[in-house]
Amino acid sequence: MQSKRNLRQIVTENVAWFLGCLVLAFLIWVMATSQLNPIEQWRMSEAIPIRILVDDGLVITNQDELRQTARVLVRAQRSVRDVLVADDIIITADLRGQPPGEHTVPLVATVARPVSHVDISPSQITVELEELASKLVEVRAEFENSLPPGYEIVGDPRFDVNQVTVSGPASKVNQVAAVHVPIDLSNQRGPIDDFARPVPVDADGRPVSGVTVDTQIIGVSVDIQGEA
């Protein structure tokens, strides 16, 4: 009985010593690692582009007012700092599932390297969403300047397309009554065959910004002849 007790005691003591040595070795490894590869904090030298995610059918209406990039403060081991580049970091503002309106959303960082902390400045942005709309509108001529004396326009201008589709935020698209094709008449003494960029306008002929036209260039022909 005594020999069994002694054997059990020896095994217990050996296990305890083994566990103690294992813990000590781990602590020594942690200390050595922290000295050779310490945790550091630094600010990325390059600003990181902000990616804004929205559902199909919605459009951002305050894009010109939004911050396009964010500054990033990173906390990680020195070995990560040595290899981390701006392309390893993605900053997103996720508005998927949000309805039209104004929304303040946090910026979230996804880092391709192991880091302990990331601080983003600004931490959030405010985005205005609106439904996307489109409609067909008429192409009209917008004459600029005057013909030389003794010349006149014969007939109506001709376009290679008579209608175009304008798209954008619904509130902007609803303002568009037509697209004007500018035609400069100064010093014109013969037929005009040219190309021009269409300009969306409202019912009063004022340009409407914030919409796109599916046809970027429109061909136009105008017959001009001397007065009889």
pTM of the model: 0.67
For position 38, what pLDDT does the model report?
87
Domain extents for the chain? 1-36, 39-122, 132-226
How does pLDDT run across 41-51, given as a tens digit for each residue? 999 999 999 99
Percent of the chain scoring above 90 in pLDDT:
71
The answer, yes or no, to whether residue 12 has pLDDT greater than 80, is no
Say how far apart CA 213 and CA 10 lie, in whole Å: 88
How does pLDDT run across 67-95, given as a tens digit for each residue? 999 999 999 998 999 999 999 999 999 99
Task: Give Cα separations from 46 to 7, 42, 69, 89, 120 (angstroms).
Answer: 65, 12, 9, 11, 13
For position 66, what pLDDT does the model report?
94
The answer, yes or no, to whether residue 4 has pLDDT greater than 60, is no
Average pLDDT of 128-134?
96
Residue 13 neighbours by CB distance under 10 Å? 10
pLDDT-derived band of residue 202, with 50, 70 and 90 as boundaries?
very high
For position 227, what pLDDT does the model report?
75
How does pLDDT run across 146-198, given as a tens digit for each residue? 889 888 889 999 999 999 999 999 999 999 999 999 999 988 888 999 999 99
| From the candidate CATH numbers 2.170.120.30, 1.20.1640.10, 2.60.40.790, 2.102.10.10, the one assigned to the domain spanning 39-122 | 2.170.120.30
Fold assignment, 132-226:
RNA Polymerase Alpha Subunit; Chain A, domain 2 (2.170.120)
Checking phi first, is residue 13 left (phi over 0); if not, alpha (psi -120 to 50) or beta?
alpha
More confident residue, 5 or 163: 163
The C-alpha angle 60, 90, 93, rounded to 5 degrees, equals: 30
Checking phi first, is residue 192 left (phi over 0); if not, alpha (psi -120 to 50) or beta?
beta
Looking at every residue in the chain, the average pLDDT score rounds to 88
How many alpha carbons lie under 13 Å from residue 178 in its C-beta half-sphere?
Answer: 14
